[in-house]
Chain A
Amino acid sequence: MLKFIHTGDWQLGKSFGRFDQETRIALGEARFDAIDAIGDAATKRGIVHVLVAGDAFDTEGPSDRTIVQAVSRMDRHPCRWWLLPGNHDYARNGGLWARVRGKAGKRITVLSEAEACEIEEGCWLLPAPLANRHNLDDPTALYDGMETPGARLRVGLAHGSVRDFGSQGETRNQIAPDRARRSGLDYLALGDWHGTVAIDRRTWYSGTPEVDRFQRDEPGQVLAVTLTPEAEPEVTPVRTGRFQWLVRDWTVGSGEALNGELDRLLAGVEPAATLLRLSLAGIVRLSDRIAILNRLEHHLRHQLRHLELFSDDLVGRPTDEDLADLAIEGMLGAAATRLRSRIDGGGPEGAVARRALERLFVEHERDEVR
């Protein structure tokens, strides 16, 4: 029996440059924290081996801090860490992995050569490291030539998309979908795909332990795998991720409707560990739109770790009432009328005019509120 943690796509050192400084740091740190989460999960389950299926690092040239952080986090746990070079952190002479080896302790093994190694008696690990950013061949094709004398269990470790798996995989080195069967593997641990996916009973993508993009709602996880000769693998997902990256497209009819949606959303998540990409659409009163944006910008944004708001499709149409409110202000009303006629003109100028009108209402409302 062989127990191990299957993980991959740590993407350590990812910069998240589009986020504000605070978020950037939090997301970056969370990726290192994921190592601890994995170590803890393994220890808790009495698992020694952690198989990292590529892309542990986000680039082939991370900073020393990134490497040292990674290595020292791994060293803290009583595990054997088996690191496979992926397409982001491919293996080359004098490159990243030479640096890692220079800093790593005994617990860490860099699988930069396509040579099988016996990790436990009769349990062989067949690594398919990548040596380039872009690889054209199936790296697992080399399994056929690997000697695994006395193997009771053969575990493949590879990085890349499975052929015909879909266009979202990053690498071109397409792995044969039936590689596990072809090469007589008891399990093929794959990396590259950031969600957890089972290709067949013996072929799995573990997904990333800490989500790094808006793609799916689920937080990051790893797979705790138990292999027994002649038996199907036992695969259990274990949550390790801290942040949830949510994507929502809402069509809103009124301020109240939005509030309802928001309340439902927030009820199911930890707001401080949530990143939300929210796209709003619909036609509402201009005053409603202002109120909605006000809530989102001045409340929700501060509740969440990060809010990415697309509100251009939420059209705020001033009602007669809105306009009457302004009209009693004389010149403000006249300005609103002018801007409205510009909006009707359409085009880029119309868009600017729409924002200008909205701003006029906002500033006027602000007075009213006071």
Chain B
Amino acid sequence: MSLRLRRVTVSNFRKFRQPVVVDGLSDGLNIIIEPNETGKSTLLEALRAAFFVRHGTKNQLAQSYAPHGDAVAPEVRVDFEADGVGWQVMKRFLKNPMAEVSSLGSRAQGEEAENRLHALLGSVKDTSQRGDPSLHGALGLLWVAQSEALAVTAPSQIVRERVRSTLEGEVGTIMGGTAYRRVRDRIDRQFGDYWSPTGQRRGRQAEARERLDTAETKAKEAAERLAALEQDFSELEIARARLKVLTRDVADGADATKRKDLQTSLETARIAAQVLATRRAERDTADAQVIALDDLDQRHVAAAGAAAKAAQSLATLQIEHSQFQTELGTAKGRLSEARVALTTAQAARDAARDALAAGEVLDRRLRRARAIGAARARHTELLAYEDQLATARKAGATLIPAKVIAELEASDRAVAQARAVLAAGATVIQLTGSAPQVTIDGAPMGSEPRTITSEVRIAVGGGSILLVRPPAVAASAEEQLAQALDRERRALAAAGAADLSEARAQNDSARDAASLMKILEARIAAVTPADGELDLAAGSAALKLLVAGLSDQDAPTHERPDLPGLSTQLAKRETEVARCEGVHQAALDALRKLEGAETLLATREASARSDFDGAEAQRRAIEGRSEFPSLTSRLSATREKAVQAAVALAQAERDASVHDIATIARKIELIDARARAGTDACNRAETDIARLGGIVESEGGKGLAERAVTADEEVEAARIALLSVTQEAETLKLLRDTLGEVQAETSGKFVGPVAHRAKRHIERLLPGCEPSFSEDLALDGIMRGGISEACLSLSKGTQEQLAVLTRLAFADILLEQGRPVSLILDDPLVYSDDARLDLMSDILADAAGRMQVILFTCRDRAFRHLPGNRVILGPNSLSSGALQDGRSSP
């Protein structure tokens, strides 16, 4: 059924300070075209206030109804029809709030009025601060305020359930929403007591687990403490048993008796030991006496023996010594004889040696004298040769060198040539007669022809001068000759010769002298040989030196001595000497040997004498001692005594070995130690018992066993509780999961029919497109050409259009169910292009055939073509009266 608003009166409501009335609203499409700011949206607010806002509320929304700054009571009154019956609702807010609903003569006020409205419109009480359209039932979805127009929102819970219950027959299932929600809410709450939203155990489960853990910890602790106490108890028992045994042991007298016996034995043993010591000392004394006497006797015998032996030895040696003295005398005689012979031989030899030496000296003097004579002769020869050599050397020194000779010969030839040339051109003058005044060039002229080659002045006396001038050729020839002569002169000067022939002769004699020199030098060398006799070196200088040093002695005149004879004599004497020396040495050696033997013999004799003296002295000393006379008898008596002492000692030893003091003392010590250990152990046991007794008393008083049992039982109880809690948790989990699954599954069943209805409208706008809805019946998106597009990705215009169309679809479904629906759109389709606007206008016009549709708009032109009831929003009521558009709908 359609809900049809007929008349709305608003006063003191926001901008409507003065009453405003909208009247004449028709069944179908109503268009209220007003400029901005005239209060179209306020009118929609007023309608919502009248139907859904509790009159008594002072919430923010209600507060906002009062005109700004006025403390007045906003009031709304609406006349409407539902299911063909006329209704009137009237509400006043804030001041003296009231609500009144009347229909068919029945009237309700206050809460009752509110409840009637809820029952009629399917809304629920709105306790929100700002108003919650989701609680307004179907009209919450279908009365679209300007701000809500764009959103493709899901229908509210109430609307969903209405829609679903409408479709239950069609899908063959039911949601059972209300009961489900109650059960579900309760189960969710209970679930929350056991589980976290992510399925983690918490709350009661965690508490139960913790209780068990705590109980287990406590039980463990209690059991441990109890076990410790039990341990102490058993230790105490053990200590007591030990003490009992120990006490018995300590009390036992066996050890004491034994100790007493041992003590007695110890005394006996001590006495025996003393006797033993005495006997041992006695035996030792007797032994010592025997030894001393024995020693004395032996020493006496030894001394006497030694003296006798030494005496015999001394006698033998003395005899031997005397024999030896004789031998020694003989040897000495022989030696002196040998010495005399040797001296004689030596004298003879020395004489021979002297004779030979004298002969040799004489011989040397004779040979030297002879050599000096020869040297003098050669010296004379030498001097002669040296004179000759000096002469020859002088001649040889005039030899002109070959080069000088050649130059000489060449210059000679040049002079000859120049002379020839001069002769040919020169003028020869010759003064004949004597005329001494005549001079030529200042010099007397002479009578010799004179060849002139250059101008010459001949003073002829009287001051006259005869000038002779030879031809020019003569002059140069003369020059050349002069040169040639000059050359020749220089060459001669060099050669030291007057002329060439002289030079040649000079050269020949020089050459001869050189040959002579060589001969002379050889001769000189021959006469100056070396002479060993005179220590003379070869050479003339040595010879001259020797000769210069010689005195003019006379040569000796002795005969030459017989040197070989002298030598032979000497050799004979030497041999003699050697022989004598041998004899002498032999005698000497023999004597020395004898002397050595004699010394040895003397030493032995001395030693023997000393031995004898020593032994004899000792013997006498022993014999001099007082005891010596009775020695033998005393010795035998002492020996007897020693034997007796030894026997007594053996007896004492046997006696002492019967009671060993150390052993007895050890046994006593053992018994004492045992007693001490027993006492110590007793003390320890007592201490342990006292300690453990203390522990047992203090710990026992704590009731540990009772505590342990209690703790164990608590563990058991906690375990059972945990089991039950876990069971409960699992149960709730399963139930909640199952409820969730069922809800999802069931919700899915309703999506299809909703989509199907929406498609009818949407297809007109977007041909060939499939709308898709989520389980909560929100439009998710559309499928176009196999491509899915989410609502949010569509254009604003399309979104708005889809929002209107899905609302229309829900309105249709609710209409089917007979719910009171009407569609109010505040300034819709602002984003639509002309074509879409036309199409949407047509769809809305169609819808208006099924339900009342009220459009608020400020766009006169956009909706001008729409056939519908034009309503004026006028002050002070007075409705426009319906300006019915004449045009019929397309």
Residues of A within 8 A of B (CB): 13-19, 58-66, 92-96, 98-99, 328-335, 338-339, 342, 352-353, 355-356, 359-360, 363-364, 366-367
Contacts and interface: CB of A to CB of B under 8 A. Distances in A.
B746 interface: yes
Interface string B731-763: 110110011011101100000000000000000
Contact of B703 (A62, A331, A333): A62
A353 B236 contact: no
Contacts of B173: 330, 334
Interface string B28-49: 0000000000000000000000
Interface in B169-205: 173-177, 179-180, 182-183, 186-187
Contacts of A332: 176, 179-180, 183, 739, 742
Given A331-B175, A331-B180, A360 B709 contact: no
Given A61-B704, A330-B174, 6 more contacts: A58-B709, A63-B702, A63-B706, A331-B739, A339-B734, A356-B735
A94 B233 contact: yes
A332 B734 CA distance: 14
B56 interface: no
A366 B734 CA distance: 20
A93 B179 contact: no
Contacts of B182: 363, 367
Contact of B240 (A93, A98, A330, A338): A93
Contact of B734 (A18, A64, A95, A353): A353
B549 interface: no
B177 A330 contact: yes
A18 B713 contact: yes
B701 interface: yes
Nearest to B735: A356
Contacts of B175: 330-331
B179 A96 contact: no
A300 to B, nearest CB: 18
7 contacts: A19-B717, A93-B233, A330-B175, A331-B176, A352-B730, A355-B727, A356-B734
Contact of A364 (B183, B692, B745): B183
Given A330-B173, A330-B175, A330-B177, A59 B746 contact: no
Interface residues of B, number: 53
- Pick the 8 closest A-B CB pairs, nearest first: A17-B713, A63-B703, A330-B176, A61-B705, A329-B176, A59-B705, A330-B174, A15-B710
B479 interface: no
Contacts of B183: 332, 360, 363-364, 367
Interface in B670-719: 692-693, 696-697, 700-714, 716-717
Nearest to A333: B176
B627 interface: no
B494 to A, nearest CB: 166
Contacts of A356: 731-732, 734-735, 738
Nearest to B181: A331
A62 B743 contact: no
Given A364-B179, A367-B182, A331 B713 contact: no
Contacts of B233: 92-95
B709 A15 contact: yes
A335 B701 contact: no
B700 A61 contact: yes
B5 interface: no
Given A61-B226, A330-B174, A17 B710 contact: yes
Nearest to A14: B709
Contacts, number: 148
A66 B709 CA distance: 14
B229 interface: yes
A93 B710 CA distance: 24
A63 B699 CA distance: 10
A99 B706 contact: no
Contacts of A342: 734
Contacts of A92: 233, 237
A59 B713 CA distance: 14
B180 A93 contact: no
Contacts of A99: 697, 700-701
Nearest to B696: A94
B505 interface: no
Nearest to B701: A64
A188 B343 CA distance: 164
B525 interface: no
Contacts of B179: 329, 332, 364, 367
A352 B727 CA distance: 7
B420 interface: no
B472 interface: no
Contact of B693 (A94, A96, A329, A367): A94
A335 B742 contact: yes
A353 B176 CA distance: 22
B738 A13 contact: no
A328 B174 contact: yes
B735 A359 contact: yes
A93 to B, nearest CB: 6
Nearest to B215: A17
A335 B738 contact: yes
Contact of A352 (B177, B187, B692, B734): B734
B790 interface: no
Contact of B738 (A60, A98, A338): A338
A338 B177 contact: no
Contacts of A60: 705
B720 interface: yes
A353 B731 CA distance: 7
B706 A58 contact: yes
B632 to A, nearest CB: 93
A100 to B, nearest CB: 11
Contact of A17 (B168, B701, B717): B717
B742 A359 contact: no
A99 B705 CA distance: 14
A338 B712 CA distance: 41
B732 A359 contact: yes
A335 B181 CA distance: 13
Contacts of B226: 61
Contacts of A19: 717
Contacts of A364: 179, 183
A33 B176 CA distance: 59
A359 B731 contact: yes
B789 to A, nearest CB: 32
Given A92-B237, A330-B175, A363-B187, A63 B709 contact: no
Contacts of A95: 233, 696, 700
B237 A61 contact: no
B742 A338 contact: yes
A62 B697 CA distance: 12
Nearest to A357: B735
Contact of B707 (A63, A352, A366, A367): A63
Contacts of A363: 182-183, 186-187
A107 to B, nearest CB: 22
A365 to B, nearest CB: 10
Contacts of B237: 92-93
A215 B881 CA distance: 94
A59 B745 contact: no
Contacts of A330: 168, 173-177, 180, 746
Nearest to B704: A61
Contacts of A65: 703
Given A95-B233, A363-B183, A62 B731 contact: no
B217 to A, nearest CB: 15
